[in-house]
Amino acid sequence: MDAEQLRENAHIMVDFIADYYKSIENFPVLSQVEPGYLRKLLPDSAPNQPESLQNVLDDVQAKILPGVTHWQSPNYFAYYPSNSSVAGFLGEMLSAGINMVGFSWITSPAATELEMIVLDWLGKLLKLPQDFLSTGQGGGVIQGTASEAVLVVLVAARDKVLRRLGKNALQKLVVYASDQTHSALQKACQIGGIHPENCKLLKTDSSTDYALSPDLLSKAISDDISLGLIPFFLCGTVGTTSSTAADPLLALGKITKSNGIWFHVDAAYAGSACICPEYRPYIDGVEEADSFNMNAHKWFLTNFDCSALWVKDRNALIQSLSTNPEFLKNKASQANDVVDYKDWQIPLGRRFRSLKLWMVLRLYGLENLQCYIRNHINLAKCFEGLVAADSRFEVVTPRIFSLVCFRLLPPDNSEDHGNSLNHDLLDAVNSTGKIFLSHTVLSGKYILRFAVGAPLTEERHVTAAWKVLQDETSALSRSL
């Protein structure tokens, strides 16, 4: 590590990355390589002698980038977005430059304290209740992903019950969510030792726009209690992965409260929109929740990874996740004067991730961030209008945020046919390399998902995408 060598080489890398962004539309957005392509292009073992940066960058250009699916391309409409931005990128650089490991306060007080402050800032932008902020018994913490967020709160909730009822109650613990909940919950249950059959995913359908019905939840809870089971955790979702369904938090929260159930709200994608007053009502009722999560790395211009989790009772996390080995003891921690984030998460080590979120908030400011969200939602509205105007298609669920769920109608009204048709259309569209969409299944129907949210996407990309879909639809009809 030599400062001047770093300066020289990092300037070269900056230009390489800036050039990548300039040319990003020249790549097929979904990589078109075949499995195993890279092994044929790279040697079998590491070199004995150093190679030049130019050699490596040539390989990145010729061998790596063709195998990249370009999440930053303006033609990326799959899954949910993963935003990169100038501010987020600068924050990543600075964090990698300082390269400290902030497990305890003492190992870099600024890392812990900036994280507390910045999550308070973001919590205020989201109008989270006061008791999620670090000034009380709660607080925010940056996790890597929503999967880790739900795992740590699940474990905290589990242990809270087990401390009361004894370890052997584990097999009776029941978790609830809608069947639209992200698979991260199921994975958290697997890791945390919850019986798979006790992870109850309650059925949703179009009558609630795929949101969880409070009545169904109430009934499930009382049925389970009468069977001697122990309901302990509900994961509500605002902005489900399939269709951005928003569970009714307030009604759900009343049920969890009266049953002593930990209520976690996963707003990984849609949370970002809630900085706009007109979308904030979707998380009304969050005051009833015990924990709330949104991914700043999805739709909030903060480079991956940065998943913001707030809890009302930080001690619940700490009681489950703390360890206190001698080699980490220090005056500040022993005096209980400080937060040691190692006890709020699975890993010990942690990066200085608050820097990038801080930079995003400061370099853009709230008003620009609101414009950014609204612009994407308007683009999604525009796409929705295009779909609605073409009688071959239907919009399947009401668009709430920036995702449009739609499908090609089967000409003969056969659902089986409709499913294979939409499957084939998706395949054809993604094979062009011009745009990248993904899919889901709702009530047995294969649905195409058009998620607007890449920072470079403009209206012309949305209309061009629609043209690709129309062209491929026509080609498909001709080939039938």
Could you say which residues in the range 262-321 bind its own copies, by CB under 8 A? Answer: 297, 303-305, 320-321
Beta strands in 20-172 (DSSP E): 139-143
Interaction between residue 334 and its own copies (CB under 8 A): no
Q: Which of 28, 75, 77, 122 binds its own copies (CB under 8 A)?
A: 122
Interaction between residue 324 and its own copies (CB under 8 A): yes
Of 4, 197, 77, 113, which Cα lies nearest the Cα of 464? 77
Two structure tokens written together for 251: 């009604």
Would you say 253 or 269 has its CB closer to its own copies? Answer: 269
Would you say 258 or 420 has its CB closer to its own copies? Answer: 420
CA dist 126 → 9, 103, 250, 448 (Å): 40, 27, 16, 30
Interaction between residue 101 and its own copies (CB under 8 A): yes
Give the Cα separation of 317 and 404 in Å (integer). 37
**The dihedral formed by the CA atoms of 352, 355, 356 and 361, expressed in degrees to the nearest 10:** 150
Q: Is 216 exposed, middle or buried (CB count within 10 Å of its CB: 0-12, 13-18, 19+)?
A: middle
The full length of the chain comes to 480
Interaction between residue 261 and its own copies (CB under 8 A): no
CB of 104 to its own copies, least distance (A): 10
Stretch that binds its own copies, among 55-63, 209-217, 218-226, 252-260 (CB under 8 A): 55-63
Beta 307-311 vs 139-143: how paired, if at all? antiparallel
Interaction between residue 326 and its own copies (CB under 8 A): yes
Would you say 142 or 255 has its CB closer to its own copies? Answer: 142
Give the Cα separation of 200 and 157 in Å (integer). 16
Of 14, 115, 86, 96, which Cα lies nearest the Cα of 301? 86
Q: Which of 359, 380, 408, 462 binds its own copies (CB under 8 A)?
A: 359
Q: Which of 226, 367, 391, 413 binds its own copies (CB under 8 A)?
A: 367
Two structure tokens written together for 153: 């709160």
Q: Around Cβ 144, how many Cβ atoms within 10 Å?
A: 19
Interaction between residue 381 and its own copies (CB under 8 A): no
Two structure tokens written together for 193: 């030792």
Beta 262-266 vs 291-295: how paired, if at all? parallel
Q: Which of 192, 253, 271, 418 binds its own copies (CB under 8 A)?
A: 192
Q: Which of 147, 204, 272, 397 binds its own copies (CB under 8 A)?
A: 147
Site for its own copies in 427-466 (CB under 8 A): 427, 438-441, 449, 455-456
Per-residue contact flags (x/-) with its own copies for residues 64 to 93, judged by CB under 8 A: xxxxxxxxx------x--xxxxx-xxx-xx
Interaction between residue 203 and its own copies (CB under 8 A): no
Interaction between residue 206 and its own copies (CB under 8 A): no
Helices (H), 195-285: 214-226, 249-259
Site for its own copies in 218-257 (CB under 8 A): 241-242
| First-to-last C-alpha distance (Å) of the chain | 62
**The dihedral formed by the CA atoms of 387, 388, 390 and 392, expressed in degrees to the nearest 10:** 90
Would you say 23 or 463 has its CB closer to its own copies? Answer: 23
Stretch that binds its own copies, among 6-14, 207-215, 257-265, 471-479 (CB under 8 A): 6-14
Stretch that binds its own copies, among 58-66, 203-211, 229-237, 258-266 (CB under 8 A): 58-66
Sign for the pseudo-dihedral over CA of 98, 101, 102, 104: negative
CB of 97 to its own copies, least distance (A): 4
Stretch that binds its own copies, among 98-106, 208-216, 280-288, 379-387 (CB under 8 A): 98-106
Per-residue contact flags (x/-) with its own copies for residues 382 to 401, judged by CB under 8 A: --------------------
